[in-house]
């Protein structure tokens, strides 16, 4: 009598435990499949798009002159310092100030559907960077001070990530040099120096909307 229930229990347990085993293996397989699917498909949608972009641009480069694909786009230039337009071309303003200026520039490029020409370096004010600054002897030029107190943009920002939203090129890139030299050759269709012109006007007026390069540098309204 004492062993009977035990036997019947173990008899009952057997189908239960194999059922549990089955359920566990089904869920393990489905979790595995889900993991496999999600880990490959989610980044793939990003990488896939980026790869497609790269692919199409390399195809274009093969098909026609590389310069053509560069010149199919239009560009927005805001000066060689992040917050240069209008005011702080010589001084180095605080990071918050430069950040908001950069956002403003990126937003305008997005609005105008243009590639933003990003300064390749950003200055770090001594307030934020006491260690990195050389002691001023007073003899170095402003360019030397700039070099000593600035950082490469690509060391501060994930440019690839920015590019996913707003296309950017750096102002020390070959592309920029090609765009700039072409803009000079094209004359009026090449470059427009805009001052005090609203972005709406830049967008709707064909004089500006078709020009290869818009130079915002001189405009105090640009940020």
How many C-beta neighbours within 10 Å does residue 93 have?
Answer: 16
Residue 77 near ligand NAG by CB under 6 A: yes
Q: Which of 193, 200, 210, 220 binds ligand NAG (CB under 6 A)?
A: 193
> Which span (22-30, 108-116, 142-150, 211-219) binds ligand NAG, by CB under 6 A?
211-219
Residue 78 near ligand NAG by CB under 6 A: no
Query: Is 98 or 217 the residue whose CB approaches ligand NAG more closely?
Result: 217
Enclosing H/E stretch for 215:
strand 213-215
Chain positions 102 to 131 lying near ligand NAG, rule: CB under 6 A, are none
Residue 218 near ligand NAG by CB under 6 A: yes
Reported for 94-97, long-range contacts at CB under 8 A and 24+ positions apart, including other chains, are 94/125, 94/127, 94/128, 95/124, 95/125, 95/128
Q: Which of 101, 217, 222, 223 binds ligand NAG (CB under 6 A)?
A: 217
How many residues of this chain bind ligand NAG (CB under 6 A)? 7
Query: Is 116 or 180 the residue whose CB approaches ligand NAG more closely?
Result: 180
Query: Is 124 or 211 the residue whose CB approaches ligand NAG more closely?
Result: 211
Sign of CA dihedral 97, 101, 104, 110: negative
Residue 133 near ligand NAG by CB under 6 A: no
Q: Which residues of 95-119 are buried (b: 16+ CB within 10 A; e: fewer)?
A: bebbeebbeebbebbeebebbbbbb
SS3 of residue 197 by DSSP = coil
Query: Is 167 or 190 the residue whose CB approaches ligand NAG more closely?
Result: 190
> Which span (25-33, 94-102, 149-157, 212-220) binds ligand NAG, by CB under 6 A?
212-220
SS3 of residue 39 by DSSP = helix
Query: Is 122 or 194 the residue whose CB approaches ligand NAG more closely?
Result: 194
Distance, CA of 62 to CA of 69 (rounded, Å): 10
- How does DSSP assign 9-25, residue by residue? HHHHHHHHHHHHHHHHH
Query: Is 124 or 202 the residue whose CB approaches ligand NAG more closely?
Result: 202
Q: Which residues bind ligand NAG (CB under 6 A)?
A: 77, 180, 191, 193, 215, 217-218
């Amino acid at each position: 009598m004492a062993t009977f229930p035990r036997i019947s229990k173990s008899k009952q347990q057997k189908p239960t435990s194999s059922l549990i085993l089955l359920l566990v293996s089904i869920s393990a397989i489905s979790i595995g499949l889900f993991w496999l699917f999600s880990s490959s498909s989610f980044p793939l949608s990003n990488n896939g798009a980026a790869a497609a972009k790269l692919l199409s641009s390399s195809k274009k480069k093969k098909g026609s002159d590389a310069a053509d694909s560069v010149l199919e786009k239009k560009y927005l230039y805001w000066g060689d310092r992040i917050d240069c337009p209008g005011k702080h071309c010589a001084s180095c303003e605080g990071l918050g100030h430069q950040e908001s200026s950069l956002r403003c520039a990126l937003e305008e490029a997005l609005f105008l559907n243009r590639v933003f020409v990003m300064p390749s370096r950003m200055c770090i004010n001594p307030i934020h960077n006491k260690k990195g600054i050389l002691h001023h002897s007073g003899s170095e030029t402003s360019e030397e001070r700039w070099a000593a107190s600035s950082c490469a943009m690509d060391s501060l920002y994930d440019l690839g990530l920015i590019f996913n939203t707003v296309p950017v090129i750096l102002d020390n890139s070959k592309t920029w040099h090609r765009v700039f030299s072409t803009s000079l050759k094209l004359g009026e269709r090449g470059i427009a120096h805009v001052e005090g012109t609203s972005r709406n006007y830049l967008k709707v007026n064909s004089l500006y909307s078709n020009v290869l390069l818009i130079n915002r540098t001189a405009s105090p309204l640009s940020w």
